[in-house]
Amino acid sequence: MKPIDIRLISAGILFVLVIASGMWVTRLGRPLNMVIFTAHKLIALACLIMMILIVRALAKGAAMNPAIIAAIVCTALFFVIMFATGVVLSFEKPAPRLVLLIHKIVPALTLASSAITVYLLKGFA
């Protein structure tokens, strides 16, 4: 198995873990369970780093086109939204409901956008 395949599988597992730990921390309610919350944050960070490594590795050999650039920009934007809303949700003061709603919806967009980015960079399209 090639190193890039190991990274792709790791990113997939990290995505599953970040969503599962997020649902778990929500289910446990307030005040936030610090162990699960910290795990959630660290897994999210590991997921982001893994995606950066994957995109960097794949971008080296790929012919860049506007679709690939758009996919990378969207993926980066979705990660920024996830981290920004995550920070607001971490405050002791309850966040507006919209923030949690965004934090619940954007993971699907982040996952889809990441998959499309990898698909385009691997030259399948």
Q: Where does this chain bind ligand HEM (CB under 6 A)?
A: 18-19, 22-23, 25-26, 32, 37, 40-41, 44, 47, 79, 82-83, 86-87, 89-90, 100, 103-104, 107, 110
CB of 104 to ligand HEM, least distance (A): 4
Whose Cβ is closer to ligand HEM: residue 64's or residue 87's?
87
Whose Cβ is closer to ligand HEM: residue 18's or residue 68's?
18
CB of 44 to ligand HEM, least distance (A): 4
Q: Give the CA distances from residue 72 to residues 5, 17, 24, 86, 104, in Å, rounded to whole numbers and listed in that order.
A: 19, 22, 29, 21, 21
H, E, C per residue of 85-122: HHHHHHCCCCCCHHHHHHHHHHHHHHHHHHHHHHHHHC
- Of 47, 54, 76, whose CA–CA distance to 121 is shortest? 54
Give the span between the Cα atoms of 75 and 77, in whole angstroms: 5
CB of 123 to ligand HEM, least distance (A): 26
CB of 97 to ligand HEM, least distance (A): 10
